[in-house]
Protein backbone atom coordinates (compact mmCIF):
# COMPACT_ATOMS: atom_id res chain seq x y z
CA UNK A 1 0.00 0.00 0.00
CA UNK A 2 1.63 3.24 -1.17
CA UNK A 3 0.08 5.96 0.98
CA UNK A 4 0.85 9.61 0.31
CA UNK A 5 0.57 12.18 3.10
CA UNK A 6 0.11 15.83 2.23
CA UNK A 7 -1.45 19.04 3.51
CA UNK A 8 -5.17 19.05 2.82
CA UNK A 9 -6.57 21.31 0.11
CA UNK A 10 -9.96 23.00 -0.07
CA UNK A 11 -10.84 20.50 -2.81
CA UNK A 12 -10.45 17.69 -0.22
CA UNK A 13 -13.35 18.94 1.91
CA UNK A 14 -15.98 16.75 0.23
CA UNK A 15 -13.82 13.64 0.79
CA UNK A 16 -13.14 14.65 4.40
CA UNK A 17 -16.88 15.07 4.94
CA UNK A 18 -17.47 11.55 3.60
CA UNK A 19 -15.04 10.20 6.22
CA UNK A 20 -16.85 12.31 8.84
CA UNK A 21 -19.85 10.13 8.06
CA UNK A 22 -18.00 7.18 9.62
CA UNK A 23 -17.93 8.79 13.06
CA UNK A 24 -20.83 9.32 15.39
CA UNK A 25 -19.13 12.03 17.43
CA UNK A 26 -18.76 15.78 16.80
CA UNK A 27 -18.84 15.86 13.02
CA UNK A 28 -17.30 18.82 11.22
CA UNK A 29 -19.48 20.78 8.82
CA UNK A 30 -18.37 22.08 5.45
CA UNK A 31 -18.38 25.61 6.89
CA UNK A 32 -16.21 24.71 9.88
CA UNK A 33 -13.68 22.92 7.66
CA UNK A 34 -13.58 25.87 5.26
CA UNK A 35 -12.90 28.23 8.18
CA UNK A 36 -10.03 26.01 9.34
CA UNK A 37 -8.34 26.40 5.96
CA UNK A 38 -8.35 30.17 6.48
CA UNK A 39 -6.58 30.05 9.86
CA UNK A 40 -2.83 29.44 9.90
CA UNK A 41 -2.77 27.64 13.23
CA UNK A 42 -4.92 24.77 11.93
CA UNK A 43 -3.02 21.93 10.30
CA UNK A 44 -5.01 19.41 8.27
CA UNK A 45 -3.11 16.50 6.77
CA UNK A 46 -4.68 13.89 4.51
CA UNK A 47 -3.57 10.35 3.74
CA UNK A 48 -4.31 9.35 0.16
CA UNK A 49 -4.17 6.10 -1.74
CA UNK A 50 -4.50 6.32 -5.52
CA UNK A 51 -5.64 9.97 -5.11
CA UNK A 52 -8.46 8.92 -2.74
CA UNK A 53 -8.50 10.43 0.76
CA UNK A 54 -8.47 7.50 3.19
CA UNK A 55 -7.70 9.40 6.38
CA UNK A 56 -6.98 12.78 7.88
CA UNK A 57 -5.80 14.50 11.02
CA UNK A 58 -6.71 17.97 12.26
CA UNK A 59 -4.51 19.77 14.77
CA UNK A 60 -3.80 23.25 16.02
CA UNK A 61 -0.34 24.62 16.63
CA UNK A 62 -0.02 27.61 18.92
CA UNK A 63 3.49 28.54 20.00
CA UNK A 64 5.00 25.60 21.91
CA UNK A 65 1.76 23.59 22.15
CA UNK A 66 -0.18 21.54 19.64
CA UNK A 67 -3.50 19.77 20.00
CA UNK A 68 -4.86 16.90 17.94
CA UNK A 69 -8.52 17.72 17.41
CA UNK A 70 -9.48 14.77 15.26
CA UNK A 71 -8.04 11.81 13.43
CA UNK A 72 -10.14 9.56 11.22
CA UNK A 73 -9.09 6.68 8.99
CA UNK A 74 -11.52 5.08 6.55
CA UNK A 75 -12.87 1.91 8.17
CA UNK A 76 -11.56 -0.17 5.24
CA UNK A 77 -7.99 0.96 5.96
CA UNK A 78 -7.82 0.79 9.76
CA UNK A 79 -5.14 -1.26 11.51
CA UNK A 80 -2.79 -0.80 8.55
CA UNK A 81 -0.59 1.96 9.97
CA UNK A 82 -2.39 4.92 8.36
CA UNK A 83 -3.19 6.58 11.69
CA UNK A 84 0.39 6.16 12.86
CA UNK A 85 1.67 7.71 9.63
CA UNK A 86 -0.65 10.69 10.11
CA UNK A 87 0.57 11.23 13.67
CA UNK A 88 4.22 10.77 12.67
CA UNK A 89 3.76 13.39 9.95
CA UNK A 90 2.14 15.76 12.45
CA UNK A 91 5.04 15.19 14.86
CA UNK A 92 7.48 16.24 12.13
CA UNK A 93 5.48 19.42 11.53
CA UNK A 94 5.42 20.07 15.28
CA UNK A 95 9.20 19.72 15.50
CA UNK A 96 9.67 22.08 12.54
CA UNK A 97 7.48 24.64 14.33
CA UNK A 98 9.22 24.40 17.72
CA UNK A 99 6.35 22.63 19.46
CA UNK A 100 7.36 21.12 22.79
CA UNK A 101 4.11 19.33 23.74
CA UNK A 102 1.38 17.59 21.75
CA UNK A 103 -1.98 17.09 23.49
CA UNK A 104 -5.16 15.19 22.72
CA UNK A 105 -8.36 14.16 24.40
CA UNK A 106 -10.25 10.93 23.98
CA UNK A 107 -13.54 9.54 25.27
CA UNK A 108 -13.01 7.38 28.34
CA UNK A 109 -15.04 4.59 26.68
CA UNK A 110 -12.98 4.55 23.45
CA UNK A 111 -10.53 1.80 24.40
CA UNK A 112 -9.38 1.29 20.79
CA UNK A 113 -8.22 4.90 20.52
CA UNK A 114 -6.73 4.88 24.04
CA UNK A 115 -4.63 1.81 23.21
CA UNK A 116 -3.57 3.37 19.89
CA UNK A 117 -2.39 6.60 21.54
CA UNK A 118 -0.64 4.80 24.40
CA UNK A 119 1.15 2.51 21.93
CA UNK A 120 2.45 5.63 20.16
CA UNK A 121 3.90 6.99 23.40
CA UNK A 122 1.21 9.40 24.56
CA UNK A 123 0.96 9.54 28.35
CA UNK A 124 -2.21 9.95 30.38
CA UNK A 125 -2.26 13.30 32.19
CA UNK A 126 -5.72 13.85 33.68
CA UNK A 127 -9.47 13.49 33.08
CA UNK A 128 -12.24 15.97 32.40
CA UNK A 129 -15.48 14.88 34.00
CA UNK A 130 -18.55 14.71 31.75
CA UNK A 131 -16.65 16.34 28.89
CA UNK A 132 -18.60 14.35 26.30
CA UNK A 133 -22.03 14.66 27.87
CA UNK A 134 -22.01 11.94 30.52
CA UNK A 135 -18.69 10.48 29.34
CA UNK A 136 -15.38 11.67 30.79
CA UNK A 137 -12.45 12.65 28.58
CA UNK A 138 -8.94 11.35 29.15
CA UNK A 139 -6.28 13.93 28.35
CA UNK A 140 -2.99 12.64 26.94
CA UNK A 141 0.25 14.39 26.13
CA UNK A 142 3.56 13.74 24.45
CA UNK A 143 6.75 15.72 24.93
CA UNK A 144 8.04 16.37 21.43
CA UNK A 145 11.68 16.96 22.28
CA UNK A 146 11.96 13.47 23.78
CA UNK A 147 11.03 11.66 20.55
Q: pLDDT of 113-128, one tens digit each?
A: 999 999 999 999 999 9
Q: pLDDT of 46-94, one tens digit each?
A: 999 998 999 999 999 999 999 999 999 998 998 889 999 999 999 999 9
Domains of the chain, by residue range, sit at 4-146
Q: ∠140-105-118 over CA atoms, to 5°?
A: 40
CATH of domain 4-146: 3.40.630.30
Rounded to two decimals, what is the model's pTM?
A: 0.91
Rounded distance between C-alpha atoms, residue 5 and residue 118, angstroms? 23
pLDDT reported for residue 28: 86
Confidence of residue 21 (pLDDT cuts 50, 70, 90): confident
Confidence of residue 147 (pLDDT cuts 50, 70, 90): very low
Q: Are 73 and 47 within 8 A, CB to CB?
A: yes
DSSP H or E segment with residue 93: helix 82-96
Amino acid sequence: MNILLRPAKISDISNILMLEGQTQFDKYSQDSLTQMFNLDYYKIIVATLDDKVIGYIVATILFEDADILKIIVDSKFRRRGVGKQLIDNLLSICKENGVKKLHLEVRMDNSTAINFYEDLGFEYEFSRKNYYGLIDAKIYGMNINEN
